[in-house]
Amino acid sequence: MLFAAPMVTVELTRHLYTFFPHLQGQAIAVEALTIGQVLGELEKLAPGIGFYLCDEAGRLRTHVNVFIGNDMIRDRRRLSDGVQAGDKVTILQALSGG
Please tell me the CATH code under which domain 7-93 is placed. 3.10.20.30
Beta strands at 64-68 and 28-31: parallel, antiparallel or unpaired:
unpaired
pTM for this structure?
A: 0.91
pLDDT of residue 94: 80
Confidence of residue 3 (pLDDT cuts 50, 70, 90): low
Compute the mean pLDDT over every residue in the chain, rounded to the nearest whole number: 93
CA dist list (Å): 65 to 1, 3, 53, 73: 36, 29, 9, 8
